[in-house]
Structure 1
């Protein structure tokens, strides 16, 4: 016995003889073939059953020649199921009408009386199209869920201190505008979190939020990364690539670590922002872009203007509104809320029965300087949750080095005690102080690459 192909087919026509003939033939090939003489029942049928192919007559008894009933029911079907595959049934003289219907969303049409083999080929092709539509729909849903999962990490900004309330008020005032925003703050204070909050509350929230870490982009790849390139424009350009500006079109572009951008690249960035257009590497024509710009840096960017390491005109362009995030040591009242939030997150992740941070632990945390800010606190809590056997975290659960002022730490390093990490940390701090926080210059003086220096800053919470 021939194996039937999976597929649910519905045939809607007011000709009973045609329905019987079609069902007899198609039942030999497909698992489910339903027929209906009354098109008014279409909404109920579609809601109760997800058909892969719907064969629809263009003319019913109420309107035997114009096809208007067919157009009406085609619209209703696509309204009820945007992925529906509709094959029209029409007479030879109505081909022009059928072509018009295809432009309005139908998949194909068959002429009656039809040849069985042609009908079978049309339905098989339609089934493949239906499968493709369902896969695309599923991918879109998965992508949307991924975006929601990514964004959920930044959804709730935890903070009740005076400094954070001021930040919240600023976000509320500026989010609904298209004003460029510059976010200032130390490493680990949550600058990207604030940028996402601004985007989420803006008129562009349904469009893309595209982030770029300017500190990690080499000068040779800067234009390709931000503006895109054409295939063959340089050795590794094996295909056309859309740059971050174009990816963020109609949405928000977040330029992180903008203070680390060399002067030559600052000029190229300024030109793109002023002209509101980008030219891909290897292209002759510029592409207009419509973005909302949010930038961030942990460097003293206003001081950098005075020592000519950051362009003043670029600073004017990016800082219509400035938001300065307080360091964690300046918002001690928020530490209990942050600690308990991360305890809840990691207790669930590692399946641990941990309820909260004890009072002793909170007091200890509030005495600590937190050079790595919230990022350091988060990692410390995660480590404590993994290692503890307590249901309430205690001071001994949290590994925090005894806090010393930077100058005292330097005094502690002597020939009798040369811990390589302590020495490296002090050298990095001195290089950053010498060059006013300029990562590139500090890295050059230390004999490191920018990426190597960034890794050490992350490791030491600097």
Structure 2
């Protein structure tokens, strides 16, 4: 059974019956009609793959002009429709004219079943090929700005990151919906892509949609697509992001920004696993992995009535909460080294490292912008530095955004501040070195070195 919809148009009831009885044995759906005037309605309500079109409809007509007219009409709706013309009057010149106008073949009535099946089978393969090419073209156009984007691996050895990595290994191979929570700049997109890379869909598309920057009026057309003529500028059919992500993963960022009406529309798509393009009345099935993210408190929003509880239940089969950068201890230096290497290469610099004071300063800074701010700070430092090391002055960090220990001891040197942080962690955990080291984002050996260094 070939998965294709065949539309047969002929004014002869016997021809339609014969075509239906034979073709339904081989094709998933067969639609018949007596008049080509029904074309617009049938094509708008059904995803037709092949049109088998008679050439003559008026009594006594044999010239084929009507068939050529309706061929032009069908291809004006979508140039990728596959049309096969049929007639009881063999005419080589007419057949050549039909092929030139865009028909892919020409069949004489009465047909031989084997020849009809072979012709339609070939047409079905052509249609599927055209659809794949068209889909790839749309994807290329929509994702052009993202083609050179580099996704980093998840870097870090702190306890929160290790726990997240353990969860990813369990969750990613499934098709469970994932909700990623965290402050701006914590790397939600990087984690979403990591889920995709570890999933069974890794060889398919990863579609990122920033809902926070999406105009509310464009929400439906962008996500669900639109049909030609659906609105003034709709000059061609266009699949939405859900359709373009078919077989892959769609990542809806900043989902907390959606209004309640848009939440309802999204919920319907997630529940039914179908989309309805603007200007169409037919449902299109979708097969995508859903990942969402937000920095907003969705549970509080549900309590206030600004976020639908049923939508939250749908999207948070698994929740990943990303820690703020300031909570990741030594990961700060690991990420800083990663960005230093990247920007050294980009700007053709030869900066080898951050000096001790710069490292201590980065460890005590609050990083309100999280990983994104660290990246910008390192990039600026690489651009402005003239030496082979980055010092505290190169970082240009605001004194207003350091932790309470630093703020309360502004006259202390950087080493004294580090000593105070180590002592505070040891006191907090009542001398338990393992817990104090984990709190600071250090290994036990690294913490012991600092205890020895500061004579604690």
- Pairwise TM-score range, normalised by the shorter structure: 0.5 to 0.7
Residue in structure 2 matched with residue 313 of structure 1 by the alignment = 310
Root-mean-square deviation (CA, aligned residues, Å) is: 2.5
Q: Is the 8 A contact 1:277 1:289 kept in 2?
A: yes
Give the gaps of 5 or more residues in structure 1.
1-99, 105-135, 408-462
Q: Deviations over 1:21-73 (max 9, x none)?
A: xxxxxxxxxxxxxxxxxxxxxxxxxxxxxxxxxxxxxxxxxxxxxxxxxxxxx
Output aligned runs, 1:236-255, within 5 Å.
236-255=233-252
Residue in structure 1 matched with residue 297 of structure 2 by the alignment = 300
Q: Is the 8 A contact 2:151 2:190 kept in 1?
A: yes
C-alpha deviation, 1:396, in angstroms: 1.1
Pick closer, same or farther for the CA change 1:301–1:290 going to 2, 3 Å: same
Residue in structure 1 matched with residue 334 of structure 2 by the alignment = 337
Aligned partner (choices 184, 187, 201) of residue 187 of structure 1: 184
Q: Deviations over 1:60-110 (max 9, x none)?
A: xxxxxxxxxxxxxxxxxxxxxxxxxxxxxxxxxxxxxxxx9xx99xxxxxx
Give the gaps of 5 or more residues in structure 2.
1-117, 123-132, 405-456
Residue in structure 1 matched with residue 209 of structure 2 by the alignment = 212
Q: Is the 8 A contact 2:178 2:318 kept in 1?
A: yes
Output aligned runs, 1:195-274, within 5 Å.
195-274=192-271
CA–CA distance in structure 1, aligned partners of residues 308 and 212 of structure 2: 17
Q: Does 1:388 align with 2:358?
A: no
Q: Say which is worse superposed, 157-166 or 314-323, in terms of deviation.
A: 157-166
Q: Is the 8 A contact 1:369 1:403 kept in 2?
A: no
Residue in structure 2 matched with residue 153 of structure 1 by the alignment = 150
C-alpha deviation, 1:405, in angstroms: 8.0
Output aligned runs, 1:273-288, within 5 Å.
273-288=270-285
Residue in structure 2 matched with residue 356 of structure 1 by the alignment = 353
C-alpha deviation, 1:403, in angstroms: 2.5
CA–CA distance in structure 1, aligned partners of residues 345 and 360 of structure 2: 24
Output the TM-score relative to the length of structure 2: 0.56
Output the TM-score relative to the length of structure 1: 0.55
C-alpha deviation, 1:406, in angstroms: 12
Residue in structure 2 matched with residue 290 of structure 1 by the alignment = 287
Residue in structure 2 matched with residue 85 of structure 1 by the alignment = none
CA–CA distance in structure 1, aligned partners of residues 383 and 201 of structure 2: 40
Residue in structure 1 matched with residue 36 of structure 2 by the alignment = none
Pick closer, same or farther for the CA change 1:354–1:150 going to 2, 3 Å: farther
Residue in structure 2 matched with residue 375 of structure 1 by the alignment = 372
CA–CA distance in structure 2, aligned partners of residues 370 and 150 of structure 1: 29
Q: Is the 8 A contact 2:364 2:403 kept in 1?
A: no
Q: Is the 8 A contact 2:181 2:319 kept in 1?
A: yes
Q: Say which is worse superposed, 229-238 or 150-159, in terms of deviation.
A: 150-159
